[in-house]
Structure 1
Amino acid sequence: MRRLSLAPIVFAMLAACAAHAAAAPGAAAGTEPASEARLPAPVMPAGLVSIPIAERLQSLAAREDAPRVWEEENAVGVHPEEVIRRADAALKTLLTRTEPLAGASPAAPEAAALAADAAARVTASLIENPVDDPLDDALLAPHPAPLDYVLLEAKTCFSQGRLKDLEELLPLLDGHPLRSYAELWRITLGLKAAPDDPAEHYAFERFIELHRGEYVAERAATDYLEIAEDRLNAEAFRKIYDRLEWNQTEPAVAAWKAYYDLEEAVAKNRGRAEALAAAKRLYRDASPVSKTPFRKLGDAVARADRSWLWTRVVLLVQKGAGAETKRALAALPRPELPAPIAELHLILDRPQTWLRRQKRLAALPPRLAVFAALRLARSAPADAARVALAAVDPQAGAFWRTLVWSQIGFTATTRLDPRANDWFARAGDALPLDSPAVSNPGQIAAWRARAALRAGNWYALGRFIDAMPADAARGETWIYWKARSLEARGLKDLAHREYALIADNITFYGKLADDALGRPYAFSRPPAAMPAGDEVARWGRNPSVQRAEAFYRMNLFYEGHREWNWAMRGISPEDAVALAAYARRERLIHRMINTSMKSGTALVVIEQRFPRPHAALIERAAAAQQLPAAWIYGLIRQESRFIPAVSSAVGARGLMQVMPGTAAWMARHLGIENFAQAHLTGLEMNLVLGTAYLRMLEEDMGGSRVLATAAYNAGPNRARIWRDTLKDAMEAAVFIETIPYHETREYVKNVLANTHTYAMLEKTPAERFTTLAGRVLPNLEKTADLP
């Protein structure tokens, strides 16, 4: 079959782009933009909609002379009075219907009716009186350059493995700031197609040398080490490894480094103990262990230390790596196995079936009991506790007893099981956190402390924090709770000394520490003179910043962030403020926030860290739902960093990162016809749906912002499950710190801290942060079935 050439298509595309640019207002030949305000018209990427709501939903205008575009099948909209009427009708149905509607609750509460009605009214209001905000363009992507479309096509060729098409596009990208990336994609596909061809390996080495000092070389070196893998020898690996500035700690790269170090130490019989200990630590902390470098590393450790074979099995059971555990068991001599291989496989695959078959747990051999208890601890901690009481405690050594009970307590605490604290107590204090046989030692230590915190055992909490690895114990979280444990024991002076270490930070625990000390909250600490002129403009000449901006105008945020961060290597606090000012000038709000945070705690420009774009629009949408605008800002700052076109890994989209299913559910109940997911990245639509949903969650969670914020991130069902574990009211800080999901735990902390800071920026009397967080009450009411 004859392959069509891409060149004519690409040239036609470029001609169309040039014609579009020439037709743009103010694009007359020889003209220059008069000022910074004359920016190119912002556009969104293909498939996304960001047209002003007055134009996009003009059919809602309540005027007889309005164009009746709502009669078209592909139009989005209804008459504003119809929006309200439909919302009322739909919600009356929800409140009286005995059979559930598709995707809706059989009996949604009155709160849902209020929220949806408010959303309907604000939708109509926004269309009748669209907000004209001078920062509109700050939340939209700039117009891509003509050659950007060629680069995007080249990226598509790379992702689809179309090497020939990619090679055909390369000459068209001469002069584009990101041409080196297209070249990297070409040599990557070439090496994958011919991994044993010396010419392809040389091409990578030459590329890395040619682009030394650029992030693309760092990326190329990292990719090369992972693609070439075991085709490299120690000398070739180290030659590339030594050129890395950032990525020497990438898991796969670090595993190969430990492997070569161990092989060399064994061969030369020099530094063997140190290399072996480092390899064991890295394997202990590795995830996933099934990848080639970790398998090779594990095998190398086993060759160097045969006594480690059973330790490897124990580690893999704790990690839940069933296939790798079976592989490790196969390497053990049969006399060293605690049971027939078939029985060990049954424990791994169907632990409950194995447990039901046991007539007398006390008769289990100690190593088999440890193996089974560790496997059960991952899925059924209560059953693991039965095995531990019957067979581990009477027969196994102190270390193994402590390990088993620690893993049982760890799983139970992450499930908010009230027995977790007692199970951790059975573990005692004999677990060495630096042991190569303990998987996730830092997690175990943290969750042991959380179990004591949730149980209100302040003395034990302080002891557990002291036993943590030093870097964890000196983090904000455990400094605060160490102070609380000291205060609860009457050691007020020592507690205040701990609080003072984190007070004045614009963070969740920093604000709580301020409250504990009775201090005013930290706010803005700008430099004596804000950067201006060339201090700011010089960042526009930085090649990495230029490449980042090229990525951003194509909505390639991940790639852009890497280049931007590369430019910030070793940046001083003063330069961070200047680069953040440049980001503000270029309307890169997300980079302004992140860059400003690099200036640390002693130099804080609050307007850079907590911007308020689209203030009129956001405040109107928040007011319609009777929500504080500061909460909406705090949530958006955490969700999207004010990038309207961003999508999460799970598909959430837009400023408020609304899930498509939730958006469709909301749109149905607001009477918005012909709603499509493309509309979800429109500013107004996203705000209307997101704020209405947040209001529903707040009402559903009994007015608790803590629970509503957790539900917005993890879903209402999970938030209800966590709340249902409460028998009495709980201090919000304790509840939040014991949320089982790391992402949700940090999300709630950040959103609440953001909300409080935004309230201070609004110059309204901000309540004390401890009061804002409040307490979380048990669930006493029937809740709605929200999506």
Structure 2
Amino acid sequence: MDIRIRNALLVGCAALAATAVAHAQTADPIADLLGEPKLPAAPQPYAPARQTVARPLSVNDQALFAQGIAAAKRGDVSGAKSAISGLSDPVARKVVTWAMVDVSSNLLGFYDLDAARRDLDGFPRGLRRQIAAEKVLETAGKTPAQIIEWFAGQEPQSAPGAMALASAYRGLGRQAEASDLIRRWWRDKSFEADVQRTMLTRFADLLTVDDHVRRADVLLYGAQGPAARDVVALLPADKQAAALARISLRGNVETSFYALSPEDQASPGVAFERASFLRRRGQDAAAAAALSAAATDAVTPDAADRVWDERYRMTLASIRSGDWRSAYRAAANTGLNSGADATEAEFYAGWIALKQLNDPVAAGRHFAAIERIGSSPITRARAFYWQGRAAEARGDRTAAENFYSRGAEHGTAFYGQLSAEKLGLRLVLPADPVPTDAERAQFEGRDVVQAMRLLADQNQRDLFRVFALHIDDIVPSRVEAALLIDAIRGYGDQDTSMKAARGAAQRGLILADRAYPYRTPPQVAGAPEPALVLGITRQESGFDPAVRSGADARGMMQLLPSTASGVARRMGVSYSAAMLYEPDYNMRLGSSFLGSLVNQFSGSYIMAAAGYNAGPGRPPQWTAMCGDPRAGGQDPLDFIECIPFSETRNYVMRVMENMQVYRAKANGGSAPITLSSDLRRGGYNYAPAASSVASNP
């Protein structure tokens, strides 16, 4: 291996390997990563470490805590306050206060809400408490100076808060600051029509016609409800006509569009609604042409999201018709700068530029934008891998290896695994941390953790989950993430523990043991390899046997009763709907069903996974648009990334990355990465491959 790559990996592996070295005996993690032999050990199911219980409440406090939570939940402020006054445990008092404010903020005065805002700092839903206090701030009898001091230089989080602060500025003669604040909120924020009317009544003298034009533009990208219509009435005649045409087009009436001047017809907001109207009528080519005139620098993030929704539909329509240049134009220059929509837009633009337009330079720019936007390991690995592919297409192997080495830092992510495979690396799972007594005491000493435990002990499962997932958002380290997952599992909540594990992973806190539960699948004739079964199970249920979906899918592998009964009949076993919640029974049927899908798709794991998620009839439909991943010369990544359902696209990648992890777990924590060959499994091509650049993943 090139010494530059090895040196890069020494840096790249630090985030994962350092903690493993600190908590587990590992002679040379880099040697492991580079493929030194390692004796496999039989995988063991993960078991939580010793459970720490919440400090016990007195008998009196237990009764008052239960009474207080019950009162808070039913909106009984008086009953909740009575319980709070009698509680001696400070954390119990905080929890009941939190529940009361969370449900009944509209029944509380400013000083109660302000005290909760300060005293419950670090508890869930802090923004909700801030907004509740802002809404009644002007009823508190505070002077203008006191109101300004209360905000402490922070931006208001609500329109009532903005009005309170602006009024305080005016009260002290700070007219410019009042004007700047009100105009900023009027131009860029959405809020209820009655609040909008109040702001207009109180601060009309600070607003200009241009401010009204801007606000109308913002609101007309949204729901076009009463607030939007009220502002349209404030516009000059020519602007009002364009605004009303946008409303009419949304209602599938185009008459008023033709009454506009050519300049107004081509204005971004009108062009956007016209494109959407044409697309709904099936006129995709005309819609794409109209969309090219729509704003690429939409006025607000919300408007940009709305524009992307339409551009995304146009992108898919153009892909289906094979019009790749139109697809690229729809995906590029969306005006999005952050969030999942921005990464999807940049990816589609980059993928089309690289694979269909033979423009690796433009592709590299789009993939680099994903790197700037994204923070999660999954997103960053995707950005680095595809930057590597673009560099390869430019003939810059050195740059490609650098991108792949950076992608390989994220070894549990799909594209991180493909990056590592490009460099000939093995997957080596970092050991989970073993918390010290001091680390455990620090975690347990947090009020929010004690609150979570009190709620669990009182069987307040809904509130327990709110606190658990809030803690997951704020834990600062792998050690505390591990302790949180142990605590949640100690209360028997597998579903929430897996949500916490996934949330931690999204922040780069990888816990390969806790986040990938292991259960040996039952042996079933025709079942695929255990790693695929486990990969599917992790995505379907997170190994919670009691899960039941809204669609009535049940148990470990989320089987519909109709599907399960058919599988049981074919297997020659008795069927019981109640038994679908029994792990082994469910996994027997699920493994058999999954095996039948693998067989149906001629051995293709990715088509079987897509069929398991979206239904077996979908993958054959997608091959016409996306190419057949089993075809010689076809890049299977094109099929995956072309799947029009984002849920299924994500599902397939997560299943395939899970499979690599489970192979490593079954082999003592390390295994060769064979993801690219796994993507190519299957050999029967029953549909013509869509045009695409042939390249190895």
Change (3 A) 1:431 1:135: closer
Change (3 A) 1:333 1:500: same
Q: Which residue of 2 aligns with 1:452?
A: 353
Task: Tell me, yes or no, if the aligned pair for 1:315 and 1:439 is still in contact at 8 Å.
Answer: no
State whether structure 2 residue 330 is matched by structure 1 residue 330.
no
Q: Output the CA distance in 2 between the equivalents of 1:318 and 1:330.
A: 17
Q: Output the CA distance in 2 between the equivalents of 1:550 and 1:656.
A: 32
Matched ranges for 1:537-552 at <5 A: 539-540=443-444, 542-552=446-456
Matched ranges for 1:503-514 at <5 A: 503-506=408-411, 507-514=413-420
Q: Which residue of 2 aligns with 1:760?
A: 664
Task: Tell me, yes or no, if the aligned pair for 1:362 and 1:391 is still in contact at 8 Å.
Answer: no
Q: Output the CA distance in 1 between the equivalents of 2:597 and 2:196.
A: 44
State the SS of the aligned residue for 2:427.
coil
Q: Which residue of 1 aligns with 2:320?
A: 417
* Shift, 1:511, TM fit: 0.6
Q: Which residue of 2 aligns with 1:204?
A: 113
Change (3 A) 1:440 1:587: closer
Change (3 A) 1:468 1:540: closer
Q: Which residue of 1 aligns with 2:527?
A: 626
* Shift, 1:421, TM fit: 3.2
Q: Output the CA distance in 1 between the equivalents of 2:221 and 2:682.
A: 33
Q: Percent identity?
A: 21
Task: Tell me, yes or no, if the aligned pair for 1:302 and 1:309 is still in contact at 8 Å.
Answer: no
Q: Which residue of 2 aligns with 1:731?
A: 635
* Shift, 1:484, TM fit: 0.7
Q: Which residue of 2 aligns with 1:375?
A: 273
Task: Tell me, yes or no, if the aligned pair for 2:536 and 2:655 is still in contact at 8 Å.
Answer: yes
Q: Output the CA distance in 1 between the equivalents of 2:683 and 2:195.
A: 48
Q: Which residue of 1 aligns with 2:24?
A: none
Flag structure 2 segments of 5+ consecutive residues without an equivalent: 1-43, 139-143, 299-303, 688-697
Q: Which residue of 2 aligns with 1:694?
A: 594
State the SS of the aligned residue for 1:642.
coil
Q: Which residue of 2 aligns with 1:516?
A: 422
Please give the per-residue CA displacement for 1:225-280, whole angstroms capped at 9, x wherever unaligned.
4446644349898888779xxxx99xx94777777777888983556898689759
* Shift, 1:626, TM fit: 0.8
Task: Tell me, yes or no, if the aligned pair for 1:640 and 1:654 is still in contact at 8 Å.
Answer: yes
* Shift, 1:448, TM fit: 2.7
Change (3 A) 1:571 1:290: same
Q: Output the CA distance in 1 between the equivalents of 2:148 and 2:683.
A: 57
State whether structure 2 residue 263 is matched by structure 1 residue 366.
yes
**AA matched with 2:674:** R
Task: Tell me, yes or no, if the aligned pair for 2:347 and 2:370 is still in contact at 8 Å.
Answer: yes
Please give the per-residue CA displacement for 1:473-530, whole angstroms capped at 9, x wherever unaligned.
9833222212111111211111111122121322111111111222222422567xx4
Q: Which residue of 2 aligns with 1:463?
A: 365
**AA matched with 1:518:** G
* Shift, 1:373, TM fit: 3.8
Change (3 A) 1:483 1:599: closer
Task: Tell me, yes or no, if the aligned pair for 1:537 and 1:582 is still in contact at 8 Å.
Answer: no
Q: Output the CA distance in 1 between the equivalents of 2:69 and 2:589.
A: 33
* Shift, 1:471, TM fit: 2.5
Matched ranges for 1:66-105 at <5 A: none
Q: Output the CA distance in 2 between the equivalents of 1:337 and 1:385.
A: 29
Change (3 A) 1:294 1:378: farther
Task: Tell me, yes or no, if the aligned pair for 2:331 and 2:349 is still in contact at 8 Å.
Answer: no
**AA matched with 1:505:** H
* Shift, 1:214, TM fit: 5.1
State whether structure 2 residue 388 is matched by structure 1 residue 483.
yes
Q: Output the CA distance in 1 between the equivalents of 2:541 and 2:343.
A: 30
**AA matched with 1:349:** G
Q: Output the CA distance in 2 between the equivalents of 1:568 and 1:430.
A: 32
Q: Output the CA distance in 1 between the equivalents of 2:117 and 2:295.
A: 53
* Shift, 1:388, TM fit: 6.6
Please give the per-residue CA displacement for 1:650-702, whole angstroms capped at 9, x wherever unaligned.
665544344577667767988866735xx654434543454444345444544
**Alpha-carbon RMSD:** 5.6
Q: Output the CA distance in 1 between the equivalents of 2:601 and 2:590.
A: 16
Matched ranges for 1:572-611 at <5 A: 572-573=477-478, 576=481, 591=497, 594=500, 606-611=512-517
Q: Output the CA distance in 2 between the equivalents of 1:213 and 1:525.
A: 33
Q: Output the CA distance in 2 between the equivalents of 1:737 and 1:227.
A: 43
Q: Output the CA distance in 2 between the equivalents of 1:259 and 1:469.
A: 38
Q: Which residue of 2 aligns with 1:16?
A: none
Task: Tell me, yes or no, if the aligned pair for 1:576 and 1:599 is still in contact at 8 Å.
Answer: no
Q: Output the CA distance in 2 between the equivalents of 1:165 and 1:155.
A: 9
State whether structure 2 residue 218 is matched by structure 1 residue 347.
no
Q: Output the CA distance in 1 between the equivalents of 2:611 and 2:659.
A: 16
Please give the per-residue CA displacement for 1:419-478, whole angstroms capped at 9, x wherever unaligned.
56322555798776579xx99666544443344356364423223335668324983322
Q: Output the CA distance in 2 between the equivalents of 1:295 and 1:444.
A: 36
Larger RCO (alpha carbons 8 Å, 6+ apart)? 1
- After TM superposition, the structure 1 stretch with the greater mean CA deviation from structure 2, 267-276 or 559-568, is 267-276
Q: What is the number of equivalent residue pairs in this alignment?
A: 607
Q: Which residue of 1 aligns with 2:401?
A: 496
Change (3 A) 1:304 1:649: farther
State the SS of the aligned residue for 1:725.
helix
Residue 286 (structure 2) aligned to one of 382, 386, 399: 386
Residue 722 (structure 1) aligned to one of 618, 622, 634: 622
Flag structure 1 segments of 5+ consecutive residues without an equivalent: 1-132, 782-787
Q: Which residue of 1 aligns with 2:537?
A: 636
Change (3 A) 1:187 1:607: closer
State the SS of the aligned residue for 1:475.
helix
Task: Tell me, yes or no, if the aligned pair for 2:137 and 2:164 is still in contact at 8 Å.
Answer: no
**AA matched with 1:517:** L
- After TM superposition, the structure 1 stretch with the greater mean CA deviation from structure 2, 514-523 or 658-667, is 658-667
**AA matched with 2:273:** R
Question: Scaled by the length of structure 1, what TM-score is found?
Answer: 0.60
Change (3 A) 1:453 1:274: farther
Please give the per-residue CA displacement for 1:560-606, whole angstroms capped at 9, x wherever unaligned.
36346538846344555566677777777664894698599999663
Q: Output the CA distance in 2 between the equivalents of 1:661 and 1:705.
A: 23
